[in-house]
Structure 1
Amino acid sequence: MIKDHTIESIEKELEQDIKVKVAGVDIDGVLRGKVMTKSKFLSALRHGFGFCSVIFGWDIHDTTYSTHTPISSSENGYKDLIAEVDLSSFRRIPWENDIPFFLVTFYESEQDMRNGKPAYCCPRGLIKTAVEGLKEVGLEGMVGAEFEFFCFNETPQSLAGKSHFQPTPLTPGMFGYSLLRPGLNQTFYNRVFDECQEFGIPLEGWHTETGPGVFEAALCYTTAKEAADNATLFKTATKQIGLSCGVMPSFMAKPHNDLPGCSGHLHFSVRGINDKANRFAPQSTDPEAVQEEEKPFEEHLDGMSETMRHFLAGILVGLESCMAVLAPTVNSYKRLVENFWAPITTSWGRDNRLAAIRVIAPPDCPTAGTRMEVRVPGADMNPQLAIAVILRCGLWGIKNKLVIPVHPITSASDLANTQRLARSLKEATDKMDEANSIARQVLGDNFVNHYVATRKHEWQLWMNAVTDWEVKRYIELV
């Protein structure tokens, strides 16, 4: 995929095409888009085109938010935003006859577009400004995403016919890293890997995970902006490919009570803009100074640069108030429970999968591979927002030279001495909404106010719902 396209080169690329598909990312990470005539598309390349703001005024099921959101509501008539085509996102969709495809970024006005000021609620805009913030200090974020997700032998219609109850898994039983189970639908398995490669979102790993119908995909490590786009596109691509194979992938965080949930782990490092050297690795053989507060666990800091320690500290300090971004649904918190391969505390550890943040550094890996894995997000995350908030918290830690606030965990018993992650979307949203929350400092009041309104809406729908559990428990015996 060529990244340095110009309007002229795009016009040449599209000479034989008659239509183009475009899409933007909503607050839940869902792609919202349409097909345009080529002439309409080309006419919009210099000044953008109107796109109804309602995609930021309704939820994942197109129900308008119960709380007024200034960017899009009945108060402003759900006015248009300006969508700017990102030429660098150009690719063709192999399972749709190679139709040209572009992502867009949203702005409140053409003037804002000219000034490079995205709408405060635009997820791709948040990535843009996070990347720019790192660039100001000479750094570039690098990210790799991993998704675990269930695959069912269902279609949207068949699942609705079952009232979304007990979908049939693509494969039976628990069989991680199986070479047998993909054969139950080899076409789907091969097409996901091959066509994602053709679509410009290459996978470096693709295998069954433990659980009936569970698969895991590791996307190739790349720059933060590209990683966010690739992760967002992967979810939709997998669903579209699955639909034509009789398979319904689900990125719900916890579809089953008694099985592990689905993670969306994110690996991070930063490198120098000019020399491309990994700044999480020490830049010389001389040991870097350790802060007084970190000396009790100094031996655990081997192979971690000062930049890495500040970045880690920023995430740990900001995690409590940013949880609602990393775990955005009511169901997210059903995954973050004991004994199911998910973190439950604000913690870090060296190559420790019990921790919220797993540090991978020499001597546990080559110097170039020094990184941290943020294990809190589930597959239901909006990758754009999750990556943006981690980068912003990390940069905040670097700028303020924050010190790692907690000792690393080395065993399960250490978890008892660490702070519990939020247990519900309401708890996480309330923390984010606090007047002086770190989320407000790193994301801005406008975004936080909008996002909080969307999560309160989600929680209220849950509170008003009568669930299957309640009916089974109470309908006869109370």
Structure 2
Amino acid sequence: MDPQKEYVLRTVEERGVRLIRLWFTDVVGQLKSFAISPAELEAAFEEGMQFDGSAIDGFSRIQESDVLARPDAGTFELLPWGQSDETAARMFCDVTNLDGSPFEGDPRHVLKRNLDRARERGFNFYVAPEMEFFYFADGDGTRVPQPLDTGSYFDLTTADVASDLRKRTIHTLEAMGIPVEYSFHEDSPSQHEIDLRYTDALTMADNVMTFRLVVREIAMERGAYATFMPKPLAGVQGSGMHTHMSLYEGDSNAFADSSDDYRLSKIGRGFIAGLLHHAGEITAVTNQLVNSYKRLIPGTEAPAHVSWARNNRSALIRVPVTKSGKDSSVRIEFRSPDPACNPYLAFSVILAAGLKGIDEGYELPDEATTNVFELTSAERAAEGIAELPQSLAEALDVMEGSELVAEALGEHIFGWFIRNKRSEWSDYKAQVTPFELQRYLPAW
């Protein structure tokens, strides 16, 4: 038997694990789970666990419903919460058809397939997201959410509940093998950021799913509510998932070239050019909610225009300045994604766009040296700076015509995602909002 599977079986026995939770996600990135007992674990490794895929959004149709969950032993971790007398663990699963072939509706399989394409070119894809989120007193969606604090950037609020929640969250993440690089209070009231340390994209997608659950669990334990909704409050900054990334060839950073003025290699320039060229096409995946576009508006810190720069935070893509001799640190930061995305699909389309730029030799446009937010529409047009889609409907229109996204996601997920999100937009259009009532009812 595989050594990792033997380790899991031995650990389950030695630690008295009572339940093993098998995790996977639906197409929009909602975490799904079912539990098995230790007695079923060896069979799960060898044969997979059969379940009804038609019950999961974006998975199977009724007439082809059954699929298998095959646990990935390398993702085994003990869960640091639950009842004291019931030790539990989790593993992420790959979902397959009954014949063992990869299931096209499995987002984790989509990312693995895109990573395989990168490896065929000699590249490994590494990412590090900055995870922003809000704490509120409760999750009642019928009223304006109430923040737990009034802090802003880097405020040291040592005595408040939110700071304690963030500290306990970091300890829990570290206990589950998810290293944290930075954490601090963000700009908006009760908004916080925890930055995860660089690792390969598949591990990071698993980590993002775990992270979102941990943040919510720790908040719930203290009677609070955590949300990754991109824009829960009007008039303040929303939550992003700025994603730092690089390609490696063996132990060498393929984005780095110490002789270049920007310290960027031809590969790095091509990757940025690909992301810029296809940015509009992938936005529906990286920003998948109606609410996502309340964050991506001009004049806020979130990027609304397609440009790149070294140290200009108004740009969609930033190339952080690195110290001389630190080639391993050369990376790019893609600033439009938000933390409500499905990380498996988001990393897939980001990688596909970057690789397309490399393969096709896209030319990198000039760096944006001014604050893009302060330029007029005419000035941006003169500099060739396009605008990201400004609504979910617009983003879906652009995505629907994208061969790149269709290939990256596969026919099954591509078609289902568009249908699902068109339905979401249709539901949204039918609503009468408080804004409309306040603005129009008295006047008309």
TM-score (norm 1): 0.85
Retained in 1: the 8 A contact 2:307–2:317?
yes
* 2:149 alignment partner, SS class: coil
Tell me if the contact between 2:110 and 2:410 (Cα under 8 Å) persists in the aligned partners: no
C-alpha distance in 2 between matches for 1:133 and 1:402:
19
Residues 50-73 of structure 1: per-residue CA shift (max 9 Å, x gap): 232245436xxxxxxxxxxxx534
Distance 2:242 2:177 in 1: 21
Instruction: Specify whether residues 257 and 438 from structure 1 end up closer, same or farther in structure 2 by C-alpha distance, changes over 3 A only.
Output: same
Task: State the match for 1:237 in structure 2.
Answer: 214
Q: Cα offset for 1:365?
A: 8.6
Report deviation, 1:372.
0.3
Q: Does 1:38 align with 2:38?
A: yes
Partner amino acid for 1:139? F
2:129 paired with 1:145: yes
Separation in structure 2 between the aligned mates of residue 394 and residue 320 of structure 1, nearest angstrom: 13
1:31-180 to structure 2, matched below 5 A, reads 31-54=31-54, 56-57=56-57, 71-73=59-61, 76-77=62-63, 79-96=65-82, 97=84, 98-112=87-101, 118-154=102-138, 156=139, 159=140, 163=142, 165-172=143-150, 174-180=151-157
Distance 2:274 2:325 in 1: 23
Partner in structure 2 of residue 467 of structure 1: 433
Q: Does the Cα contact within 8 Å between 1:432 and 1:448 map onto a contact in 2?
A: no
> In the alignment, which residue of structure 1 is the partner of 2:161?
184
CA distance in 1, matches of 2:249, 2:177: 25
- The reply on whether 1:379 has 2:339 as its aligned counterpart is yes
The 1-side partners of 2:171 and 2:202 are apart by 23
Stretch deviating more after TM superposition (264-273 or 412-421) = 412-421
Percent same amino acid at aligned positions? 28
Question: Is 2:11 the partner of 1:8?
Answer: no
Query: Which residue, out of 340, 353, 378, partners 1:393?
Result: 353
Closer/same/farther in 2, CA of residues 243 and 362 from structure 1, 3 Å limit: closer
List, as ranges, runs of 4+ consecutive aligned residues in structure 1 with deviation greater than 4 Å.
Answer: 361-365
* 1:199 aligns with one of 176, 184, 195: 176
Among 242, 249, 252, the alignment partner of 1:272 is: 249
SS in 1 for 2:202: helix
> How much has 1:111 moved relative to structure 2?
2.9
Q: Deviations 1:356-411 (Å, cap 9, x if unpaired)?
A: 1111255689322100000011122222211111112112222222222x322111
- Matched position secondary structure for 1:95: coil
Shift of the 213–5 alpha-carbon distance from structure 1 to 2, 3 Å rule, reads farther
- Residue 291 of structure 1 corresponds to none
Residue 144 of structure 2 aligns to which amino acid in structure 1? Q
2:393 and 2:234 map into 1 onto residues whose CA distance is 20
Question: Structure 1 residue 335 and structure 2 residue 295: aligned?
Answer: yes
1:239 CA drift (Å):
0.3
Letter in 1 for 2:438: K
Distance 1:104 1:44 in 2: 10
Q: 1:333, CA displacement in angstroms? A: 0.7
**Matched-pair contact (CA < 8 Å) for 1:182–1:208:** no
The question of 1:246 aligning with 2:223 is answered yes
**How far is 1:90 from its partner?**
0.6
Partner-residue secondary structure (3-state), 2:45: coil
- Residue 386 of structure 2, aligned match among 416, 419, 425: 419
Code of the residue aligned with 1:89 in structure 2: it is T
State the distance in 2 between where 1:314 and 1:324 align: 17
Instruction: Tell me which residue corresponds to 1:29.
Output: 29
What's the secondary structure of 1:201's corresponding residue?
Answer: coil
Of residues 231, 238, 250, the one that matches 1:261 is 238
Distance in 2 (alpha carbons) for counterparts of 1:186 and 1:344: 31
2:255 is matched by which residue type in structure 1? Answer: F
Unaligned runs of 5+ in 1: 59-70, 113-117, 288-300
Residue 318 of structure 1 aligns with which residue?
278
- Give the 3 Å change call, closer, same or farther, for CA 446–149 of structure 1 in structure 2: same
| CA contact 2:304–2:387 (8 Å) conserved in 1 | yes
Whole-Å Cα distance in 2 between the matches of residues 408 and 441 of structure 1?
Answer: 30
Contact 2:309 2:367 in 1 (8 A): yes
Structure-2 separation of matches of 1:229 and 1:5:
21
Q: Which moved more, 1:237-246 or 1:391-400?
A: 391-400
After TM superposition, give the deviation of residue 142 of structure 1 in Å.
Answer: 0.9
Cα shift readout 1:19-43 (whole Å, capped 9, x = no counterpart): 2111101122221102222222332
- CA distance 1:205–1:362, change in 2 (3 Å): closer
> What root-mean-square deviation, in Å, do the aligned CA atoms of Structure 1 and Structure 2 show?
2.1
Could you tell me how far apart the structure 2 residues matched to 1:286 and 1:204 are?
Answer: 29
Question: Is 1:456 aligned to residue 422 of structure 2?
Answer: yes
Consecutive unaligned residues in structure 2, runs of 5 or more: none
Deviation at 1:91, TM superposition (A): 0.5
In the alignment, structure 1 residue 224 sits paired with structure 2 residue 201: yes
Secondary structure in 1 matching 2:212: helix
Greater Cα offset, 231-240 or 175-184: 175-184
Preserved contact between residue 392 and residue 443 of structure 1 (Cα < 8 Å): no
Match of 2:229, as an amino acid? Answer: M
Partner of residue 396 from structure 2, selected from 405, 422, 429: 429
State the SS of the aligned residue for 2:439. helix
